[in-house]
Structure 1
Amino acid sequence: MKQDKTNFFELVYQVVRLIPPGRVSSYGAIAAYLGSKGSARMVGWAMNASHQQTDIPAHRVVNRQGLLSGKHHFSDPQAMQRLLEKEGIAVESDRVKDFDRLFWDPSQQLHLR
């Protein structure tokens, strides 16, 4: 089972690396793209574990309502918002403004295998 989790995490990281700057995706959308629609929480665990790697833009993954639900897993709880704002994404009350417009759905943007 450990190997399966490791492989799933790596697949999550591959998708997250493709989220363009200035856009956001959600845990559930990434899970659905990977064929594990009910595994949004596992995508969240992958994001929590990703902070040890510098090439994974975990700040671009939010919950299905645009909330910065993973912000407490960054070294500084305000880091996620600062990183998004640096990319031109407005955040108000821990929520991405214009979430629907900025949402990047891997199932729509990427060709399935």
Structure 2
Amino acid sequence: MASSQENLFDDIYQVVRLIPVGRVTSYGAIAQYLGTKAGARMVGWAMNACHSMPDVPAHRVVNRNGVLSGKHHFGGNVMQERLEAEGVKVENDKIIDFNKHFWNPSTELL
């Protein structure tokens, strides 16, 4: 029997898989969409746990200010390189034109 945390992680991964190429979202936006009381921190833990899952584009999840706060979990500049390969410009570990690239699951997934 799976724990509730495992089920929540699966729900988080399902949302992350829906983030379109060239778009990003925040830990908090995912938590809000899922209505999880654990909040953004739980989404962060899920992102940290999925680096061996190639079908979960964790590089598209950033903090509420567009900062690549999880970049150290990717090693080197992998997170930035993946975003830039999708057309998202990053400078000093922060997404340029964050609002233009922001994908809000609460409004996009109706």
For 2:101, the equivalent position in structure 1 comes to: 102
- Please tell me whether the aligned partners of residues 28 and 37 of structure 1 are also in contact (alpha carbons under 8 angstroms): no
Gaps of 5+ in 2: none
Question: Normalised by the size of structure 2, how large is the TM-score?
Answer: 0.96
Superposed CA RMSD in Å reads 1.1
Gaps of 5+ in 1: none
- Please tell me whether the aligned partners of residues 28 and 38 of structure 1 are also in contact (alpha carbons under 8 angstroms): no
Q: Deviations over 1:23-54 (max 9, x none)?
A: 00000000000012651000000000010111
Distance 1:37 1:91, change over 3 A: farther
* Segments of 4+ moved more than 4 angstroms: none
For 2:67, the equivalent position in structure 1 comes to: 67
Q: Deviations over 1:57-82 (max 9, x none)?
A: 000000000000000011x2300000
For 1:77, the equivalent position in structure 2 comes to: 76
For residues 20 and 76 of structure 2, the distance between their equivalents in structure 1, rounded to whole angstroms, comes to 22
Q: Deviations over 1:57-110 (max 9, x none)?
A: 000000000000000011x23000000000000000000000011100000000
